[in-house]
Amino acid sequence: MDLSETIVCICIATTCAGFFINLAFAYKLCTSRVPRNPLLVGLMVSDLSVCIISCPVKTYRRIYRPIFSSLSTFVLLDFIEELPASCATLSMMCVAIDRYCVVKKFQPFNRKITREKTLPYIVGLIWIIASLIVLTEAITYHKDFSWISVAVSLRVILVNVLPIFTVLVSHIFLHSNLTAVSLTARARHGELPLPMPILQRKKPQEIKTHVIIVAGMSKHEELEESDSTTATENTVPSNLKNRKRLGCFMLLIAVCFFLLWAPFTACQLFSIIFEGGMDDEVLELMKSIAFLHSGLSPLLSIASMDRDWSKSTFAACRGLEVLNEHKSPSSTNEDALGPFNPRFVRPNKKANYNRRSSSVIIY
């Protein structure tokens, strides 16, 4: 099998697998309890565009390469192929920066301009910037061929080198922050009670104290409050094990992005520096491997979002096994008891006297 057939096979595999994996990622984003991040939606759309647009176009160009005699057809197909890939790398960079800002609690905007309002505009800005970068290279191909090396260098730096460096540095910081085992870091996550709370550095006039004196509380409200606190503790666990797991997934996503896009970027830089010293077949092979990231990256994102992803993956199979199981009745013939079975008898609810709670004084 020569390089051309290998490129076609990789593109077909990326199209088939990436289409279904991105659809599964879209379903996960729609059904998750966490509010949807527009940057993740934009990343999913970009990866899906790479799988259903860039890879088929590359396959078509490899199979029907002798037909392309005009330069305009070549430039048009190159623009259609490069635009989704550029959007995918820029979207990955913006997602990494957003994660870094969330963990670092950095607010680059004013209080009036919230993060939720700006993220949809950033998604649109990513597509505009990617279109301008790829369009500049296409115009240079068609109009002035002497500036083609400058246009290609600009695209490689902005679309490949900068996203790879940003994603790697941001996710390494996330991994080190989420897997920190110091007492201060664990206390910030609510795992260890410290003798004094961790206070932010503020001026003396900005510190405000509120004293709440509670004279008493009814027994019914105490039970409700204890039930609510136990429910929140059970639903939102933030222990070291979960944070280490999430940090390892962040590092794995960055390593996957680096391993798949770094060879193609290195080949492009080598071709620019040595003026065509790299073989075109090898360059196209590295590019098809880079496109493979759009088919594999959503799988890692699904696994990082779901805490019990291995259980949820095989939940349907286990459910069918449970349905097929049939427990034989016991010696007391529980099936004949019907509604009088002790398992179906509910205890009576306790009487609610609706006691009035005492006053709460706030100073």
Fold exhibited by the domain 3-187+234-307: Rhopdopsin 7-helix transmembrane proteins (1.20.1070)
Would you say residue 174 has pLDDT above 50?
yes
The answer to whether the CB of 126 falls within 8 A of the CB of 87 is: yes
Instruction: Break the chain into its structural domains and give their ranges.
Output: 3-187+234-307
What spatial distance separates the first Cα and last Cα of the chain, rounded to whole Å? 81
Predicted local confidence at residue 46, as pLDDT = 93
Closest of 224, 229, 213, 212 to residue 355, by C-alpha? 224
Average pLDDT over the chain, rounded to whole?
74
For the segment 116-137, the average pLDDT, to the nearest whole number, is 88
Q: Secondary structure of the chain in the HEC alphabet? A: CCHHHHHHHHHHHHHHHHHHHHHHHHHHHHHCCCCCCHHHHHHHHHHHHHHHHHHHHHHHHHHCHHHCCCHHHHHHHHHHHHHHHHHHHHHHHHHHHHHHHHHHCCCCCCCCCCHHHHHHHHHHHHHHHHHHHHHHHHHHHHCCHHHHHHHHHHHHHHHHHHHHHHHHHHHHHHHHHHCCCCHHHHHHCCCCCCCCCCCCCCCHHHCCCCCEEECCCCHHHHHHHHHHHHHHHHHCCCCHHHHHHHHHHHHHHHHHHHHHHHHHHHHHHHHHHCCCCCCHHHHHHHHHHHHCHHHHHHHHHHHHHCCCHHHHHCHHHHHHHHHHCCCCCCCCCHHHCHHHCHHHCCCCCCCCCCCCCCCEEEC
Residues 210, 58: Cα–Cα separation, whole Å: 65
pLDDT tens column, 292-351: 999 998 888 888 876 655 455 455 445 545 444 445 555 556 566 666 666 666 666 665
pLDDT tens column, 14-71: 999 999 999 988 888 888 776 678 888 999 999 999 999 999 998 888 887 656 557 7
Residues 43, 304: Cα–Cα separation, whole Å: 15
